[in-house]
Amino acid sequence: MEKFLEVVELINGKVNGWVWGPVMLVFLVGTGIFLTCGLKFMQVGKIGYWMKNTFGTLLKKDAKSNKDSKAISSFQALCTALGGTVGVGNVVGVATAIAAGGPGAIFWMWLAAFFGMITKYAEIVLGIFYRKKNSDGEWLGGAMVYLKEGFSGKKGLKTLGSVLGVLFAVFCILASFGIGNMSQINTIAANFEQTFSVPVIVTGIILLVLMAIMALGGLKRVASVTEKVVPFMSIFYIIGAIIIIATKITVIDDVFVAIFKGAFGFDAVAGGAIGVVISKVAKSGIARGVFSNEAGLGSSALVHSAADVKEPVKQGMWGIFEVFVDTIVICSLSALVILSSGVIDLSTGLVAAGFTADKSSVLVTEAFVESFGSIGGYFATIAIFFFAISTVIGWFVYGSKACEFLFGKIATVVYKVIFVCFVLVGATMNLSLAWDISDTFNGLMAIPNLIGLLVLSGTIFKVTKNYFARLKGEDVKPILSAYDDIQAEMEAKED
């Protein structure tokens, strides 16, 4: 196993450098900028609408119910997707971004999230628009579906769409073992060892059993768990973070100064060094931001496509809300906790003396300990546990859907067995390798998805424009989704 991991580390190091090079970063953020301009900065211009139709509906009964026994509610889709996005990326991901790129990495995380709101919106719109039903009457959608179905309607692109769809599904399955399994489990094991002195192998065995039990349930059971766990864990962590920030309010100004100074390398000695600093800081912030909110990966569309909703735009609003909660709210709170607690030297951007520099996964835990004493460490470790487990559950669903697309529903049984076994591998492997593997497959997964978003951007713009035109009462016919179109043809033949 050790020799295998050494080979993986060597290969991954070379691939990771290419995947997250300048070209990929420009491609990722550039796609978000293009879609944002095409949709006229909807994340700002329609902020009242999407907040009202997401956060404003959470207390309504119909948000948590669904009529289709084979589908899940919009709220369950949100919680399952949030479970996949709101994870250790919001805690440990922020810590590793700061450890690698300094406080300035947070600025680039915010920037990526701003444009990522529309990227994720676009993914969900296409996911709903092109979804289809499997043999059991369950929805199957996501990037692999809209790449295949969307490209088939464009001259000369049918084969390309099929190839990209297969590549996305393969990378999604591989990513589910990285971002959705090993890095999450590794973080839980490291924090339990740090806080409770529990050997990582013991934590790994316990988590393996828990995941095996979870794997026996279907999507609806997973969704019913996440709709209870995600709101609880988010509120639990947010309250603790706000308390720490409130006690450190006198240094918040210094924190924001450090973020903006670090973002643009103001302290670099020479002009040439500024470019190097910005490149490193931007890479850390954007890569960790994508790890956290997953905008551009096409992942959350896999579960949002199963929502009991007909309007693609209506479900897409949850994508904007998802990134907002994940990065703008929770990641920002994590950053403020870390930077205000003293575990990071604001003048140098390095881990302060007396704190653990070799394991960024415990930086947040140490920040809570510094503020609350030993009870703070327990609090942070438990919060990270819930964050990580919810992400494992979310990515378990993503990987299962991708596997079903490639090999059929029966093959998901094999996937589940392998996924559960990798829990033990994740608990005992090197932390940095786990995160590097996650970054690599995230990037590979994003490539076919971003190509799809650009090629199908016309559909995104038309569907969105049509929806808001009807909302205003204009006399326009709704644009039928691919599934509705097929249903209409079938009903016409029956008549």
* pLDDT at residue 273 in the model: 41
- Asked if residue 284 lies in contact with residue 100, where contact means CB atoms within 8 angstroms, the answer is yes
* pLDDT at residue 80 in the model: 57
Provide the residue-wise pLDDT of the chain in tens; the chain has 495 residues: 455 455 455 555 555 555 556 677 778 889 999 999 999 999 999 999 999 888 777 656 555 555 544 555 655 565 555 555 566 667 766 777 777 777 888 888 888 889 999 999 999 999 999 988 877 777 888 899 999 999 998 888 999 999 999 999 999 998 888 777 887 888 888 878 878 888 989 988 988 888 887 776 655 555 566 566 666 777 777 888 888 889 889 889 999 988 888 877 654 433 444 344 444 555 565 665 665 677 888 888 888 888 878 889 998 998 998 889 888 888 888 889 888 877 777 776 666 655 554 455 566 777 778 777 888 878 878 877 877 777 787 788 889 889 988 998 888 889 989 998 888 888 877 666 666 666 677 778 889 999 999 999 999 999 999 999 998 888 888 887 765 655 554 445 444
Helix 431-455, helix 457-471: angle, nearest 10: 70
* CA dihedral of 408, 412, 418, 420, whole degrees rounded to 10: 160
* CA dihedral of 350, 354, 360, 366, whole degrees rounded to 10: -120
Domain that holds residue 202: 2-494
Distance (Å, whole) CA 40 – CA 460: 13
Distance (Å, whole) CA 160 – CA 165: 8
Cut 0.85: pTM above it: no
Please state, in angstroms and as integers, the Cα–Cα distance from residue 274 to each residue in 74, 118, 265, 268, 270, following that order.
45, 30, 5, 5, 7
Tokens 């720490």 found at? 244
User: Which two three-digit tokens encode residue 85?
Assistant: 């996005």
User: Which two three-digit tokens encode residue 58?
Assistant: 């959470």
- Asked if residue 118 lies in contact with residue 36, where contact means CB atoms within 8 angstroms, the answer is yes
CATH number at residue 195: 1.20.1740.10
Distance (Å, whole) CA 417 – CA 401: 15
Q: Is the dihedral of CA 460, 21, 82, 164 positive or negative?
A: positive
Q: What are phi and psi of 403, to 5 degrees?
A: -65, -40
Domain count, the chain: 1
CB-neighbour burial class of residue 49 (10 A; exposed 0-12, middle 13-18, buried 19+): middle
Length of the chain as a residue count: 495
